[in-house]
Structure 1
Amino acid sequence: MKNLLINVHGFLSSHESEKINDLRQCIIDNFKSIDFISPKLPNTPELAVELIQKIITEKRNDYDAIGLVGHSLGGYFSTYIASNNNIKAVLVNPVVRGYEIMCEFFGECHNPHTNEVFEINEQDIEYLLSINIETIADKGRFLLMLQMGDEILDPKDALAYYQGCTTIMEQGGNHDFVGLSNHTKSMVNFLFSEHAEEITLERFR
């Protein structure tokens, strides 16, 4: 059995940050049945979602299951994508209302990780509003991971929106989620336990 985990990084973030590289290495070392990819997402929300959807469409027949781990705005994207593709997602300090957050970045933006300069416009806001899901229909599809020390988002918003979903909540921490790779086994089991019985048997450091 072979499964695919797609990392969906946040806005103005990096697809190769330290926490993502730690997560990748932890999976490589301990879960041989899982491939991990972390694509560099376009800065434009619609193009970012289209890229993840393209990967899922192209890879679906190559794997027993595909799962997502979405960070911040990537969590907003992942909620929409998972709901529309009948797959599961882990949401790490997710944005709940992406259209509201993006209003704060309206106009010229600079991605410090790529040095790209781009603009967020009204069309981007409208797109984010169009993919908003008012109510989570299948709560079993999502694992919510929150650190209450998040300095950018109010964790209470995510707790209310994803109420009833499996939740890992920690005091302290920050928006980046300190020690994310420590939860690799929980994430993997949530995403793929139905498709790979050997996951719980593999050695985990």
Structure 2
Amino acid sequence: MQEIVYLHGFASSSRSEKAVLTEQYFQAIPKVRFRALDLPYTPNEAMATLEIMLAEPPLAIIGSSLGGFLATVFAERLGCRACLINPAVAPHKVLKNYLGSYDHPVLQQRYQVSAEHMPLLKALMPESLQNASQYFVLLQTGDEVLDYRDAVQYYQGANVQLVTGGDHSFVGYQHYLPQIAQFCLQA
């Protein structure tokens, strides 16, 4: 059984629209186990959770936004494929604008985003990609949260699909699921 793992973005969960659509799509594919993980929001806790959950490397990791950043960190460590949807390239630069207290919608926990988390996120960021061909990156130019040009630059050499318009949620995501599955399931 081949495993595909989905990592949600900041202030999201395994029950987000993208996660649910992805789960429904992969359920129809034989011999594939799909898991959408709910991650803690502090960098150390998220990394500890992922190290346990990904002890057996998956075939591929799908990550959206902050989940795309974490998918990159683990794809680099594990050598697996990663499909990224509007990924955060340098989350320490973006999240510094979101300091404060939040509620996790599924875990039913309150969490803090603090300035102390920013150096931890920066330290996790791979300086460069070891094998750009293991990445499929979906970007929309209308992303109002992240500058898509940062991802275009960082993921040079990867299979990057740049879509004009859209927004951070990646409008029309469900139409890209066949491409995502094809990329993830390549041997």
Which of 37, 40, 55 pairs up with 1:39? 37
What amino acid sits opposite 2:50 in the alignment?
A: I
Q: Distance in 1 between matches of 2:34 and 2:170?
A: 19
Q: Which residue of 2 aligns with 1:169?
A: 162
TM-score, normalised to structure 1's length?
Answer: 0.84
| Cα shift at 1:94 | 0.5
| Cα shift at 1:117 | 2.8
Deviations 1:101-140 (A, max 9, x none): 221123x221363564322234311210111112222111
Q: Distance in 1 between matches of 2:41 and 2:153?
A: 28
Q: Distance in 2 between matches of 1:18 and 1:179?
A: 11
Which of 58, 67, 77 pairs up with 2:70? 77
Q: Distance in 1 between matches of 2:164 and 2:64?
A: 18
Q: Distance in 2 between matches of 1:165 and 1:21?
A: 26
| Cα shift at 1:182 | 1.8
What amino acid sits opposite 2:68 in the alignment?
A: G
| Cα shift at 1:100 | 1.1
SS in 2 for 1:38: strand
1:49 and 1:81 in contact (8 A); partners too: no
Q: Distance in 2 between matches of 1:40 and 1:182?
A: 24
| Cα shift at 1:67 | 0.9
Ranges of 4+ aligned residues in structure 1 off by more than 6 Å: none
* Structure 1 spans left out of the alignment, 5+ residues: 195-205
Q: Which residue of 2 aligns with 1:185?
A: 178
Q: Distance in 1 between matches of 2:111 and 2:177?
A: 34
What amino acid sits opposite 2:157 in the alignment?
A: G
Deviations 1:166-204 (A, max 9, x none): 01221121101122222222112212211xxxxxxxxxx
Q: Is the aligned partner of 1:26 residue 2:25? A: yes
TM-score, normalised to structure 2's length?
Answer: 0.91
Deviations 1:61-84 (A, max 9, x none): xxxx52100110111111111101
Q: Which residue of 2 aligns with 1:202?
A: none
What amino acid sits opposite 2:159 in the alignment?
A: T
The percentage of counterpart residues that share the same residue type is 26
Q: Is the aligned partner of 1:103 residue 2:103? A: no
Alignment coverage as a number of residue pairs = 186
Q: Which residue of 2 aligns with 1:17?
A: 16
Q: Which residue of 2 aligns with 1:201?
A: none
Q: Distance in 2 between matches of 1:181 and 1:50?
A: 31
What amino acid sits opposite 2:48 in the alignment?
A: E
1:45 and 1:128 in contact (8 A); partners too: yes
SS in 2 for 1:133: coil
Q: Which residue of 1 aligns with 2:123?
A: 130
Q: Which residue of 2 aligns with 1:203?
A: none
SS in 1 for 2:170: coil
Higher radius of gyration, 1 or 2:
1
Give me the CA root mean square deviation.
1.7
1:56 and 1:66 in contact (8 A); partners too: no
